[in-house]
A and B are shown apart, each in its own frame.
Chain A
Amino acid sequence: MTRHTTLIGKMLIALLLTFALSSAGSSYATHAQGGIGQPAAPQGDPTGATTGTAKDVTVKDAANPTIGEVMDTVGHNKIAINFVWTLLAGFLVMFMQAGFALVETGFTRAKNAAHTMSMNFMIYPIGMLGFWVCGYALQMGGVGAVAVLGGTAPLNHEVTINLFGHPFGLFGLKGFFLSGGTYDVGVFALFLFQMVFMDTAGTIPTGAMAERWKFSAFIVFGFFMSMLVYPIFANWVWGAGWLSQLGANFGLGHGHVDFAGSSVVHMVGGVAALAGAIVIGPRLGKYSKTGESIPMPGHDIPMALLGTFILAFGWFGFNPGSTLAGSDLRISVIAVNTMLASASGAIFSMFYMWGKYGKPDPSMMVNGMLAGLVAITAPCGFVSSFWAFVIGAISGVLVCVAAIYIETVMRIDDPVGAIAVHGVNGAWGVLSLGLFSDGTYGDGFNGVEGTVRGLLYGGASQFVAQVIGTVTCFVFIFAASWVFFKVYDLVFGMRVSPETELEGLDVPEMGVHGYPEIQGPATLVHALGASSAKPPAMSAMAAERSR
Chain B
Amino acid sequence: MKKIEAIIKPFKLDDVKEALTGAGIIGMTVSEVRGFGRQKGHTEMYRGGEYTVDFLPKMKVEVVVADAMVDKVVALITAAAKTGSIGDGKVFVAPLEEALRIRTGERGDNAV
List 5 additional A-B contacts (Cβ < 8 Å) besides A295-B50, A297-B51.
Answer: A294-B49, A295-B46, A353-B48, A361-B45, A361-B47
Judged by a CB distance under 8 angstroms, whether A403 is at the interface is yes
Determine if B44 is an interface residue (Cβ-Cβ < 8 Å): yes
Within 8 A of A (CB), among B12-47: 44-47
Chain B residues numbered 78-110 whose CB sits less than 8 Å from any CB in chain A: none
In the assembled complex, the Cα of A363 lies from the Cα of B49 at a distance in Å of 12
* A352 to B, closest residue via Cβ: B48
Q: CB-defined interface of A284-324 with B at 8 Å, one 1/0 digit per residue?
A: 00000000011111100000000000000000000000000
Interface size class for chain A? 20 to 34
Shortest distance between the CB of B111 and any CB in chain A (Å): 26
A32 to chain B minimum Cβ distance, whole angstroms, is 74
Interface string of A395-414 (1 = CB under 8 A from B): 00000100110011000000
- Taking Cβ atoms with an 8 Å cutoff, the residues of B that contact A are 44-51
Of the A-B pairs whose beta carbons lie under 8 Å apart in the complex, a sample of 30, sorted by A's number, is A294-B49, A295-B46, A295-B47, A295-B49, A295-B50, A295-B51, A296-B46, A297-B44, A297-B46, A297-B51, A298-B46, A353-B48, A356-B48, A357-B45, A357-B48, A358-B45, A359-B45, A361-B46, A361-B47, A361-B48, A363-B46, A363-B47, A364-B47, A400-B48, A403-B47, A403-B48, A404-B47, A404-B48, A407-B47, A417-B47
Please measure, in the bound complex, the distance between the C-alpha atom of A529 and the C-alpha atom of B32, giving whole angstroms.
26
Cα(A359)–Cα(B49), bound, Å? 11
Cα distance, A100 to B48, chains bound together (Å): 22
- Chain B hits for A296, CB < 8 A: 46
- Tell me the minimal C-beta distance from B42 to chain A in angstroms: 13
Closest chain B CB from A363 CB (angstroms): 5
Chain A residues 397 to 438 lying within 8 A of chain B, measured CB to CB, are 400, 403-404, 407-408, 417
Cα–Cα, bound, A30→B98 (Å): 92
Contacts of B45 in A (CB 8 A): 357-359, 361
Chain A residues with CB under 8 Å of chain B are 293-298, 353, 356-359, 361, 363-364, 400, 403-404, 407-408, 417
CB distance from A404 to the nearest CB of B (A): 5
A24 to chain B, nearest CB (A): 64
Which chain B residues border A400 with CB–CB below 8 Å?
48
Hey, which chain A residues are within 8 Å of B48, CB to CB? 353, 356-357, 361, 364, 400, 403-404
Residues of B near A356 (CB, < 8 A) are 48
* CB-nearest residue of chain B to A298: B46
Q: Which of B44, B47, B49, B50 has the most CB of A within 10 A?
A: B47
Q: How far is the CA of A364 from the CA of B45 in the complex (A)?
A: 11
Assembled-state Cα–Cα distance A400/B50 (Å): 15
In the assembled complex, the Cα of A404 lies from the Cα of B45 at a distance in Å of 13
User: Whole-angstrom distance between the alpha carbons of A481 and B105 in the complex?
Assistant: 71
Residues in A with CB closer than 8 Å to B47 are 295, 361, 363-364, 403-404, 407, 417
Nearest CB to that of A292 among chain B residues? B49
Rounded to whole Å, the gap between the CB of A284 and the closest CB of chain B is 16
Instruction: With both chains docked as a complex, state the minimum distance between the C-beta of B50 and any C-beta of chain A, in angstroms.
Output: 7
A-chain residues with CB within 8 Å of residue B44 when the two chains form the complex:
297
- What is the bound-complex CA distance between A356 and B45, given in angstroms? 12
Q: Which residues of A contact B51 (CB under 8 A)?
A: 294-295, 297
Cα–Cα distance between A359 and B44 once the two chains are bound (Å): 10
What separation, in Å, do the CA atoms of A358 and B49 have in the docked complex? 11
Structural contact, B46 and A293, CB atoms closer than 8 A: no
Q: How far is the CA of A293 from the CA of B47 in the complex (A)?
A: 11
**Chain B residue with minimal CB distance to A407?**
B47
Q: How many angstroms between the C-alpha atoms of A449 and B45 in the bound complex? A: 52
Task: Tell me how far the C-beta of A158 lies from the nearest C-beta in chain B, rounded to whole angstroms.
Answer: 44
Q: Which chain A residue lies CB-closest to B49?
A: A295
Interfacial chain A residues near B49, Cβ < 8 Å: 293-295, 407-408
Inside 8 A of A417's CB, which chain B residues have their CB? 47
Q: A298–B46 Cα gap in the complex (Å)?
A: 9
Docked complex Cα distance between A357 and B43 (Å): 13
**How far is it, in angstroms, between the C-alpha of A357 and the C-alpha of B50 when the chains are bound?**
9
Distance A298 CA – B51 CA, assembled complex (angstroms): 13
Distance in Å from the Cβ of B53 to the closest Cβ of chain A?
10
Q: Hey, which chain B residues are within 8 Å of A404, CB to CB?
A: 47-48
The complex places the Cα of A407 from the Cα of B47 at a distance, in Å, of 10
Nearest CB of chain B from residue A405's CB, rounded to whole Å: 10
CB distance from A401 to the nearest CB of B (A): 10
- Minimal beta-carbon separation of B4 from chain A (angstroms): 30
